[in-house]
Amino acid sequence: MEQLPTPKTTKGPNDRFLGDVYVDGITVPDAGVVAAFVHFTPGARNAWHTHTTGQTLHCTEGYGLVVTDDEVIALRPGVTAWTPPGQRHWHAAVPDQFMTHLAISSIPADLSEGAVWGEMVTDEEYEIAVRQIS
């Protein structure tokens, strides 16, 4: 057994996030997964994207949402959502609350990043999705 190093908190890059988002990576050596706690400030969201191997999101605090082209799931503590490989989606905090989720994805066999980032979520898309869970 060994204690693993704790990665530094990083700010989500502006080309993938609107608003302030902070990422606390989790060191998982030789496990074939990428894991991180992602902290969204009120109203913050990421861009549309897909994951080569899919993605599991487990909400640990606050209130947010995960959105596909066809569905909106409210994220509250204890809620887990799965987006299958290639499914276009985005996640966010609601306008007046923080939201933190644990994001888990398998590392693709070719060792690529595993996420394909698209366009930013518009204010209109965000507002429509928030109304669906309110």
Q: What is the pLDDT of residues 41-87, one digit of tens each?
A: 999 999 999 999 999 999 999 999 999 999 999 999 999 999 999 99
* 5 domain-assigned: no
**Which domain, by its residues, includes 31?**
10-133
pTM for the whole structure: 0.94
pLDDT of residue 111: 66
Which residue, among 105, 106, 101, has the nearest Cα to 91 in the 3D structure? 101
pLDDT of residue 30: 77
pLDDT exceeds cutoff 90 at 29? no
CATH number, domain of 108, equals 2.60.120.10
* 57 domain-assigned: yes
* 21 domain-assigned: yes
CB distance 10 to 22 below 8 Å: yes
* 58 domain-assigned: yes
Domain count, the chain: 1
